[in-house]
Chain A
Amino acid sequence: MSDAIADIRVRAPTPRVGARPVTQDAPLARLLVIGIAVAFLALFLFAPLAVVFVEAFAKGFAKFLTAFDDPDALAAIRLTLIIAAIAVPANTLFGLAAAWSIAKFSFPGKSLLITLIDLPFSVSPVVAGLVYMLVFGAQGLLGPWLTAHGVQIVFAVPAIALATIFVTFPFVARELIPLMQEQGTVEEEAALTLGASGFTTFLTVTLPNIKWGLLYGVLLCNARAMGEFGAVSVVSGHIRGFTNTIPLQVEILYNEYDNVAAFALAVLLACLALVTLGLKTVLEWRHADELAGRGGRRH
């Protein structure tokens, strides 16, 4: 760089305070757009959620609590928890296996598998329920064989579990597949060269690397499993005290004009939604870090 820098004077008009034609509109436009978004959310999201709580406590806290004295309501809660406890681990295992095979190996039919995993998202839940009826129902494909062996699938817990597993199939897999594909196989190979068995490698190297994505997928899977209505409605038979999950029980109570009880149970689902949302936000935070490869933070 030359030392001969001349004394440079820049002549430019100083902006006059107040005369800012172009920038003036931007804040206004921004406020407008945000305002519309908030109004939309308020009307279609917050208001209904608020109504659930308002209606549930409309006749006072005591009436709210009696809703949970009903044995049918308690059975519904119990069944929902059981179904979640079956569907979520099953789909987690499946999701892990599918993501592992897709990310680490190449095999014929791989893209078909990836497409099929997304199938439950495109199929209407009612159709999914119907399919199980057609296969396991008394007039269905396996009907005669099941009746002959005294096995009850439809209108019982097994069908509800199956239908729930179907609709929540993709959540864990879809979360893990891109994550594992991005991470590649190189850390696993390193572990193998150091003497670790395949299983040890999976536990000590693969799992820790995907833990936030896995948790995220499990969370979504759980929320959907507990809240599923359509598919479960078709196969459950609505037998009070036996084959009603919380969403089904809410529908029954509402149809019987027992508003407070219906909304009281709905409050449970609403709380589940809020908790899921909260955890999801926290995990998205951490999850995004992991995808960006910044592992320095203590997890």
Chain B
Amino acid sequence: MSLDIAPGELVALLGPSGSGKTTLLRVIAGLNAPSRGHVLFDGEDATDLPVQDRRVGFVFQNYALFKHMTVEGNIAYGLKVRPRATRPSRAAIAAKVEELLAFVQLDGLGKRYPSQLSGGQRQRVALARALAIEPRVLLLDEPFGALDAKVRKDLRRWLRDIHHRTGLTTVFVTHDQDEAMELADRVVVLNKGRIEQVGTPEDLYDRPASPFVISFVGEAVALPVDVAGGHVRFAGRELHVDTQGLLDGRARVYFRPADIAITTAGAGELEGRVENLRRTPAGVRATIAIDGYDQTLEIESALDSGATLGDRVPLSLANARVFQDHPTQTFPDAGEGI
């Protein structure tokens, strides 16, 4: 795989377990060696550079704080182990530690040991420790994975803030797509050791490049269709989708639940039966069984859509994408559809 990261970017490596995202991060850091290929920092080949010399700040999944050292000891470590020639004076190190403690909002906790801190606090110490060496790149491996939801939300906001203030090129690994979409300038979607797509969150939502991306990032419904001579047919009806570049044969049409609606005017591309109808603050939520599709979909609709329980309603599709069926198609564990 090939990846270019611009200076100052905040990039997310997103993918399911086993997709290789942590391995990629470790290769950048120098903790794992690639079997082939190169890693370049600012154009220089760093592939053979040992991890100590790469000046990367790495924040591990479970923080990896030095448990027998105080918070101050942890943060100062990177500076204390420098060779005498480049090591700052003790006063300078102490000042830097104070500065970083304030930066991560842990003032006054310097003398504590990691076991005396909460998960969120430990995470911030790990970050401060990585920043102490003034790295060129900041790498975070599932930084918020081990924390509960509320703390995670706060820390996400905080990481975005830190990125603004430091301007460091940052790469972080996550399997949580909300996190990737919320934080990153660009997202790299990985699957089974390959890059599926690289793009901004908007690119991923609006222009997904493969069935995997559309199913992994956000929810998607996949309808099996037949392509013949530029026409796409599903359950005997024709769907209006872009068939550019498609070969005849089996394919799938992907769309998001928000892209299907009950048409009030005339015939729609699909038809379905209203199995259930529920009021929501904004309108109604209808559970529709689409003809030819074995799962039901929940569709949000306005109050005046005219749907009643048991009715057959026409449905229109927007933003649908067709992808050819390949025998080696891989899908996220959740499977296709909702």
Contact = CB atoms under 8 A, between A and B. Distances in A.
A189 B22 CA distance: 14
Contact of A193 (B51, B66, B67, B116): B51
Contacts of A200: 81
Interface string B112-135: 011110000000000001101100
Contact of B129 (A186, A194, A295): A194
B58 A296 contact: no
B29 A295 contact: no
B56 A204 contact: no
Interface in A36-69: none
Contacts of B58: 189-190, 193
B328 interface: no
A189 B114 CA distance: 17
Contact of B116 (A192, A196, A208, A296): A296
A197 interface: yes
A209 B51 CA distance: 22
A108 interface: no
Contacts of B82: 195
Interface string B53-87: 10111101010111110000000011001100000
A191, A193, A195 — most chain B CB neighbours (10 Å)? A193
A187 interface: yes
B35 interface: no
A190 B66 contact: yes
A193 B50 CA distance: 9
Interface residues of B, number: 29
B67 A209 contact: yes
Interface string B1-39: 000000000000000000000000000011100000000
A189 B115 contact: no
B329 interface: no
Contacts of B52: 192-193, 195-197
Nearest to B67: A295
B81 A186 contact: no
A195 to B, nearest CB: 5
Nearest to A295: B67
A189, A194, A197 — most chain B CB neighbours (10 Å)? A194
Interface in A155-207: 186-187, 189-197, 200, 204-205
A150 interface: no
Nearest to A296: B115
A191 B77 contact: yes
Contact of B68 (A186, A192, A193, A209): A209
Interface residues of A, number: 21
Contacts of A204: 77, 81
B81 A189 contact: no
Given A194-B81, A196-B81, A295-B113, A189 B133 contact: no
A294 interface: yes
A196 B83 CA distance: 9
A16 B52 CA distance: 75
A299 interface: yes
A294 B133 CA distance: 28
A293 interface: yes
A191 B126 CA distance: 12
A205 to B, nearest CB: 6
Contact of B115 (A205, A209, A294, A299): A294
A193 B56 contact: yes
B62 A205 contact: no
A189 B64 contact: yes
A193 B138 CA distance: 11
Contacts of A189: 31, 58, 60, 64
Contacts of A191: 66, 77, 81
Contacts of A192: 31, 51-52
A187 B258 CA distance: 46
A59 to B, nearest CB: 52
Given A293-B115, A294-B115, A295-B115, A194 B67 contact: no
Contact of B64 (A187, A195, A197, A293): A187
Nearest to A211: B68
B60 A296 contact: no
B30, B65, B67, B115 — most chain A CB neighbours (10 Å)? B67
A299 B51 CA distance: 31
B117 to A, nearest CB: 10
A296 B81 CA distance: 23
A205 B78 CA distance: 12
Interface of B: 29-31, 51-53, 55-58, 60, 62, 64-68, 77-78, 81-82, 113-116, 129-130, 132-133
Interface of A: 186-187, 189-197, 200, 204-205, 208-209, 293-296, 299
23 contacts: A186-B60, A186-B62, A187-B66, A187-B67, A189-B31, A189-B58, A189-B60, A189-B64, A190-B58, A190-B60, A191-B66, A191-B77, A193-B51, A193-B57, A194-B129, A194-B132, A195-B81, A195-B133, A196-B81, A208-B68, A293-B67, A295-B68, A295-B115
